[in-house]
Structure formats: C-alpha cells, structure tokens
A and B are shown apart, each in its own frame.
Chain A
Amino acid sequence: MMLLKLTVLAASLSAALLGQAPQGSTTLKVGDTAPDFTLPSTDGGKMHLADYIGKSTVVLAFFPAAFTGG
C-alpha cells in the first residue's frame, strides 16, 4: 500500500514537472475540439477558424518567431 502511494506520488510529481516543461508541450490533446479564434493574416484579411470547419482539414503550425529555423 505504501509502495502504491509512493508510486502515485512520484507519478503526479513527474506530471507536474512535465507540465512546466516548455519544450514540445501543449495542454490540448487529440480528440479535443480545436479552440475557435480570429487572427489577422498576411493575406490581408482575417482568418476565422470556424469558417473552415465542415469544409476542409486545417493545419495550424505554431512556431516561435519569424526568421528562425525549421
């Protein structure tokens, strides 16, 4: 029982630590509804995610900053 409690404690501690790690982390997971948003686009207009739902697959690529690698 003690061992089980320790294991649970260790697991929740690692989860807490992982939660703080900035690299490769997101709070969303597969199956979640994608949060809707509207943002200014380099196209000149605004992009509203909801306009695309039901029409096409959407790829959202977040990246740290312009003129960085990748």
Chain B
Amino acid sequence: MKAFQAGMQKFQESGAKVFAISTDNGPSQKAFLESLGLGFPLLSDFLDRHVSKQYGVYIPQYGVSNRVTFVIDTEGKINFIESGGDAIKLLGAPDACSRLAHKKQGG
C-alpha cells in the first residue's frame, strides 16, 4: 500500500479515485491506514468476501484477496489489470489512469 501512497500524486493528477480493498475488518483497516498515513480509503470485504469473489481475486485457502489492481474507466469497464509483483511495484496503474484522463480531455 505504500507504493500506492507514493503513486498518489499521479493518480490525483489524473482525477482517479483510489480505493484499497482487503478482507480485514474495519478496525484493522483503520489502524493500518493511520499507521501508514494513507491518503485513500480502505474498503472492508470482511463480511462474506463477496467482492473479492466477484472480482475473482479471492484465495479460499487463506481467506484473503490476491494482490490485484483494477483500473475502471468512466463507462464502468475494466481498462487495466495489474497483479502479483507488478501490483506491488505499481508499474502501470498510474499510467493507465493518465491515459484515460487524456482520452477524456481529447474527447
């Protein structure tokens, strides 16, 4: 999540809204958010893990979500997916947001 904090400027410039999702409960997320000083909200998929399942990132044997980042355009379509190590390094997600922002401006 630190990588996302580092990438926040680029996300904000592109006008993208960033949300991090895990299967932790709300209080754990709040403590995590405060300890890292994250500038974006965390969403708790604690109850029945249904969003992680919907997005196909749920790992049943561990009860947690896989590390996968989705960039969703203004039409609600998935524009970019980054997973595993790439999602930690955040190689493409900020660029995908910038591209979408330019596309929007250019019409």
Q: Which residue numbers of A lie inside 8 Å of B, CB to CB? A: 22-37, 39-43, 47, 49-50, 52-67, 69-70
Q: Does more than half of chain A's interface fall in helix, strand or loop, or is it mixed? A: loop
Q: From A41, which residue of chain B is reached at the shortest CB distance?
A: B41
Q: Which residue numbers of B lie inside 8 Å of A, CB to CB? A: 1-4, 11, 14-24, 26, 28-33, 35, 41-45, 50-52, 54-57, 59, 61-62, 64-81, 83-88, 93, 97, 100-101
In the assembled complex, the CB of B43 is this many whole angstroms from the nearest CB of chain A, namely 4
In the complex, A36→B20 CA distance in Å? 15
Contact of B23 with A65 in the complex, beta carbons under 8 Å: yes
Which of A29, A36, A41 is within 8 Å of B81, CB to CB?
A29
In the assembled complex, the CB of B51 is this many whole angstroms from the nearest CB of chain A, namely 5
